[in-house]
Structure 1
């Protein structure tokens, strides 16, 4: 696994296509990134456009991990808080790694890039994210230094008979 991470890359049509393709591939492999399979790159267009709009307004930043061929293989959006009592932390969302790279350290490398980016931002002291329970993600984030600080039982409905907990994780940057 050899990924190069960039903070705030130029958003080109190729990058947007790469993110949409990654998002669909992660979703279709069972990844908990807001969708239930089957998913096409077109299905995620609206959510990606919302993230990009937030970036253009200065409320979000993007980390992209690319492989040696320049393909998008990992992403995380960093959402900055605008309320004065929450500016000391940011949200990490759409944290995803290509299914073919899972188990090879790419997720840890992505979280390291997230934390380095957060530390470079004035006043940011912590990262907050949520994950879907039932997939072992809490254990992964815990192993990366995050602690569980909240859980809403059955808040995520992935099928008529399949409800998952919405788990909030927190990482101090000190």
Structure 2
């Protein structure tokens, strides 16, 4: 794990969150608030537990997500996408679709997975994006995400079969 990678992922995460993205934090956030979570995520990648999938243009990371492993041996055939995000300045340029295509390649060819899951909070429009990319809603956790006092959102659980 290099300081450069931590900085690049953290900076993108801060920009995504502050632009209204729902990748694990609620705006406004700062680099010092997000950095410890980035380090924790990368620690699980380095130890082989989770898999980082990054989308680059040149040498710049323009999107990333983590395929989080399940700790239960019978559940090793699928992983959960966490912290899916793309450069907010490039929204609408197809980066999200390209990132999911990269995830698909890694999930099928490298990890030999059977399925993927993810959670997305309501109120962002992201669920429509995932539906267009083959995910289906399989459940909801009502009022599971607290944005602010009195502002709660559902967590939508989505699933996509690969095999």
TM-score bracket, normalised by the shorter chain, equals over 0.9
The Cα offsets for residues 17-62 of structure 1, whole Å up to 9 and x where unpaired, read as: 1000000000000000111111112211111111112112211111
Residue in 1 that maps onto 2:157? 168
C-alpha RMSD of the superposition: 1.2
Q: Which residue of 2 aligns with 1:63?
A: 53
Runs of 4 or more consecutive aligned structure 1 residues displaced over 2 Å after TM superposition: none
Q: 1:89 aligned to 2:86?
A: no
User: What is aligned with 2:97?
Assistant: 108
- Decide whether aligned partners of structure 1 residues 89 and 26 sit closer, same or farther in structure 2, where only a CA change above 3 A counts: same
TM-score (norm: length of structure 1): 0.89
Give a deviation string over 1:87-107, Cα, whole Å, max 9, x none: 110111011001111111100
Superposition deviation, residue 116 in structure 1 = 0.8
Aligned residue for 1:85, secondary structure, equals helix
TM-score normalised by length of structure 2: 0.95
SS at match of 2:147: strand
Q: Which runs of 5 or more residues in structure 1 are unaligned?
A: 1-10
Give aligned pairs, total. Answer: 163
Offset of residue 121 of structure 1: 3.5
Q: Hey, which of these two has a bigger chunk of helix by percent?
A: 2
